[in-house]
Chains A and B, each alone.
Chain A
């Protein structure tokens, strides 16, 4: 509704990319940026299509910054950020935001912790005040720590209770990574969750919740100058901190296949296979993303057509290659059909992989995925939330928000040979970890 000028520009940019490169430069310019003197970087998109705005704060801290003994602390900290600061005490962050028509949420991954505020543009100053208060002077009340501990234990428990994937993927991750912090789950070990100390929390806040460790994206019905003025007023006074310690552990090269089995009462076995693959900034990223789509995106995809439709070995199959700072996993997931063993599914999957390694993919398949990527892009930029989330993600994971504007071009550059090469390079037996979850683990 109304006019979404920013989107139009991007669309044109994609379609005529090859010809009008100079215009393409202009489109990335729709994102305006500034950096406060304390190192906090802002990316701003003016968009008056609806009278709302949002603020996404990306902190570069996640479970990869933890060590055994404090696992899950990043995620717990995410919760504590809502539990009171100097000006707005316990409960007042949420009460004030909601009174002003705003809502919020937050999420933590292995790599980042992201805070999301959605509000009517008229409430923008209140949002700046709230964020400023908790970033500058969070108060970590021991009583709030105790009650919030119960909340995250419930969050962990309900995740495990409602999906077998949670248990299987945590176990697989722990097997694939033996040294690197991707070894433990984002939610943490239950025993660590019960033992975080006040000191752990205070140190975490000082180290990681520094303005220089944060990228802020604001999209919506706001003028750039207004955002800048509010940022300078509310957030610039907060002191920078020394850069957080680098995560120095590099996972040693995997030299042989790893296998695990997990017991749980389930109807049919759940199977997951993880291949070690590089981080988002790596040159193979785009080819691997395309390979993932060729394997499992839609009913005509290779794995769905073969394993689910033709052979009826599985009822569900999907793949995932997410964003990460350090080398992580390309995962394949399947649920067995009745009377089908996990071995049969595994072998059928390897057959499909060998086909790609030996024969490559077709021109039509490659074009199909490129078309899908374009639709995906439209969907991402259709809302102010999609814009903020994507611009922030590209800035943080790819080092530059402008890469978002280059993404369609980077996908278009991928050739049949590239896809075949990444399949050969990463999809080897010695580079994989195989996990099976089933009822009878004694057979």
Chain B
């Protein structure tokens, strides 16, 4: 393969680039309608009749930030939604879904829990009924819970076999510290080991409510009929009047000194590393401009980072950078890997590229290229019912509207060189950088010490 999907990962997920200027001017988000049930549950409906399929994306404010001292609980709760309901056993749900070739996925992210589904339009009544059961009436079968938990414990152990699978969690903990955004979504072996089926039931009862939730449905259906079905199915969901504890009392602070977490993996042949700092929240007014500048720095194949670390020096298969955003905060990081013998060379080069970004800024030609690229790569991000359903859900969660899409082209075009260079100075860190290195500690510890105060941890711990 030429390039490890770093491109996709490096760009700001799907929301970055939004415009169709090159051929179809004035692209608008397709028409959709929203309505709220008396219990507060929000629906977004968008008819798309091209293919006889329907996609659903539901969002519930029940992510890992609500785990408190039970890391992994939100995630396990979301998974356990499919462990049987008042009317269907787990096996029954699995069989029904598989038989019609549908899929239903339940998961928790850092901030919210989600349910996504895709199915043939003719099966919508059946799938919606199951979805309703999963979301409103889960029974959390104890036997299924134990099976799930034991599988999860093995998977957590196995993740330690892959540096790429664990490095993000270490980095987030380093940046966010004790803020709830530092919570690990999947939890640790110790924390998950202590979880019980009653914890899951409590978490569901305390966090799954309609009044802060939304369900987006995109595909081949009639809006009117769909509205009737949804109203019938979801009106029974009881709203809550209780106010949850505000988990955001801590603020995310910029780091005051450089730190290095060295994760020792004895059999490592490579060093996998992140370098970064705090970033931006999703609602940052410069969000679009930052994504354009990051495209140049580390968001595409010819980016400064990939050019220097891969193309010019052959040190790695790929180097990239990313702003990862949440509602109230975010991270920025450079990400790459190299043979353990070239660890220092690769880290130094990455730092040089960051320094060069600040010292030299960017020029008109580069900016034009990045703008064209961001605009040109946008339309395929909104091609499928899945992508559109997810977009509507994220609009709900991050509180932005269609103008973000509809004005995107203007926003990209409006970015000039002065502003772009301001963006660099404001948002790309220069000092007190934070490092996570996963590799063989005995061989790279002295190198690690050059970059900040080192803490060595074992990948197996």
User: Which of A's residues lie within 8 Å of B, judged by CB?
Assistant: 1, 3-4, 7-8, 11, 49-52, 78-79, 82, 91, 94-95, 98-108, 118-123, 146-155, 157-158, 160-164, 221, 264-268, 297-301, 308-309, 312, 315, 335, 337-338, 364, 367-368, 371-376, 378-379, 381-385
- In the bound complex, residues from chain B placing their C-beta under 8 Å from that of A384 are 380, 383
Provide the residues of chain A in CB contact with B164, threshold 8 Å: 158, 162
Q: Tell me whether A101 and B376 are in contact (CB under 8 A).
A: yes
When C-beta atoms are compared, the residue in chain A nearest to B97 turns out to be: A298
Supply 23 A–B pairs (Cβ within 8 Å), ascending by A: A3-B50, A4-B51, A8-B51, A78-B2, A91-B302, A100-B372, A103-B7, A104-B2, A105-B7, A120-B23, A120-B375, A150-B313, A151-B314, A153-B339, A158-B164, A161-B270, A265-B161, A265-B266, A267-B158, A337-B150, A375-B100, A378-B51, A382-B51
Q: Is B165 an interface residue (CB 8 A)?
A: yes
Within 269-306 of B, Cβ neighbours of A (below 8 Å) are at: 269-270, 272, 300-302
A312–B154 touching, CB < 8 Å: no
Q: Which residues 96-137 of B sit at the A interface, judged by CB distance below 8 A?
A: 97-102, 118-120
Whole-angstrom distance between the alpha carbons of A121 and B4 in the complex? 25
Q: How far is the CA of A160 from the CA of B339 in the complex (A)?
A: 12
Residues of A within 8 A of B337 (CB): 154, 158, 161
Asked if residues B94 and A382 are in contact (CB atoms below 8 Å), the reply is no
Contact with A along B314-330 (1 / 0, CB 8 A): 11110000000000000
Inside 8 A of A381's CB, which chain B residues have their CB? 51
Q: Does B458 contact A (CB under 8 A)?
A: no
B142-182: CB near A (< 8 Å → 1, else 0) gives 00000100110111011011111100000000000000000
**Is residue B52 within 8 Å, beta carbon to beta carbon, of the partner chain?**
yes
Of B2, B150, B269, B302, the contact of A95 (CB 8 Å cutoff) = B302
Say yes or no for B382: interface residue by CB 8 A criterion. Answer: yes
Scoring B residues 1 to 19 as 1 if CB is less than 8 Å from chain A, else 0, what string do you get?
Answer: 1111001000000000000
Q: Which residues of B contact A (CB under 8 A)?
A: 1-4, 7, 20, 22-24, 30, 48, 50-53, 91, 94-95, 97-102, 118-120, 147, 150-151, 153-155, 157-158, 160-165, 266-270, 272, 300-302, 307, 310-317, 337-339, 365, 368-369, 372-373, 375-377, 379-380, 382-385, 388
Q: Please, which residues of chain B bring their CB within 8 A of the CB of A385?
A: 380
Could you tell me if B98 and A297 are in contact, using CB atoms closer than 8 angstroms? yes
B161 and A382 within 8 A (CB)? no
Q: Is the CB of B1 within 8 A of A108?
A: yes
Closest 4 A/B residue pairs (Cβ): A101-B376, A150-B314, A51-B23, A375-B101
Is there an interface contact between B380 and A118, defined as CB atoms closer than 8 Å? Answer: yes
Choose from A1, A120, A151 the contact partner of B317 (Cβ within 8 Å).
A151
B120, A309: Cβ atoms closer than 8 Å: no
Shortest distance between the CB of B261 and any CB in chain A (Å): 19
Contacts of B376 in A (CB 8 A): 52, 100-103, 119-120, 123
Asked whether, in the complex, the Cβ of B162 is within 8 Å of the Cβ of A162, the reply is yes
Q: Note all chain B residues with C-beta closer than 8 A to A95.
A: 302, 369
Contacts of A50 in B (CB 8 A): 20, 379-380, 382-383
Check A7–B51 contact: CB distance below 8 A.
yes
Bound: A373/B307 CA distance, A = 42
From B102, B267, B300, B314, give the contact of A103 (CB < 8 A).
B300
> With A51-B379, A98-B301, A374-B101 known to touch, is A157 a contact of B270 (CB < 8 Å)?
yes
Contact B373–A98 (Cβ < 8 Å): yes
Q: Looking across the interface, which residue of chain B has its beta carbon closest to that of A375?
A: B101
- Residues in A with CB closer than 8 Å to B163 are 161-162
With a 10 A CB-CB cut-off, give which of A98, A299, A309, A337 has the most chain B CB atoms: A98
Instruction: Determine the distance from Cα of A143 to Cα of B52 in the docked complex, in whole angstroms.
Output: 52
In whole angstroms, how far apart are the Cα atoms of A158 and B163 in the complex? 10
Tell me the smallest distance from the CB of A27 to a CB of chain B, in Å.
14
Contacting residues, chain A, for B382 (C-beta < 8 A): 1, 50
Q: In the complex, are the beta carbons of B51 and A101 less than 8 A apart?
A: no
How far does the Cβ of A188 sit from chain B's closest Cβ, in whole Å?
13
Contacts of A373 in B (CB 8 A): 101
Told that A51-B23, A100-B372, A163-B161 touch, could you supply 11 new A-B pairs with CB distance under 8 A? A78-B1, A101-B373, A118-B380, A121-B22, A150-B313, A161-B268, A300-B98, A300-B99, A315-B154, A379-B53, A382-B53
The CA of A7 and the CA of B53, in the complex, are separated in Å by: 12
* Cβ B314 vs Cβ A98 within 8 A: no
Residues of chain A within 8 A (CB-CB) of B97 are 298
Task: Given A154-B337, A371-B99, A382-B383, verify A105-B154 contact (CB < 8 Å).
Answer: no
Asked whether A106 lies within 8 Å of B2 as measured between CB atoms, the reply is yes
Instruction: Using known A-B contacts A3-B50, A106-B1, A158-B270, determine if residue A383 contacts B380 with beta carbons closer than 8 Å.
Output: yes
Closest-CB distance, B185 to chain A (whole angstroms):
19
CA distance A276 to B369 in the complex (A): 49
Contacts of A107 in B (CB 8 A): 1-2
Nearest CB of A to B69, in Å: 25
CB distance from B339 to the nearest CB of A (A): 6
Task: Name the residue on A nearest B98 (C-beta).
Answer: A298
Please, how many angstroms separate the alpha-carbon atoms of A149 and B339 in the complex?
13
Query: Nearest residue in A to B22 (C-beta to C-beta)?
Result: A120
Residues of A within 8 A of B372 (CB): 98-101
Selected from B22, B120, B272, B377, the residue in CB contact (under 8 A) with A122 is: B22
Cβ–Cβ contact A4 & B50, under 8 A: yes
List residues of chain A with CB within 8 A of the CB of B3.
105
- A307–B445 Cα distance when bound, in Å, is 43
Contacts of B266 in A (CB 8 A): 265
User: Complex: how many Å from CA A391 to CA B388?
Assistant: 25
- Assuming the contacts A91-B302, A101-B373, A338-B154, asked whether A51 and B22 have C-beta atoms less than 8 A apart, the reply is yes
The answer to whether A300 touches B384, judged by C-beta atoms less than 8 angstroms apart, is no
Q: List residues of chain A with CB within 8 A of the CB of B154.
A: 267-268, 315, 335, 337-338
Contact A122 B23 (CB under 8 A): yes
The CA of A373 and the CA of B368, in the complex, are separated in Å by 44
Q: A98-B301, A101-B22 are in contact. Are A118 and B98 (CB under 8 A)?
A: no
CB-based contact A105/B379 at 8 Å:
no
Candidates B99, B165, B317, B377; contact of A158 at CB < 8 Å? B317
When distances are taken between beta carbons in the complex, the residues of chain B under 8 Å from A162 are 162-165
Interchain CB contact (< 8 A) of B23 among A4, A82, A121, A157: A121
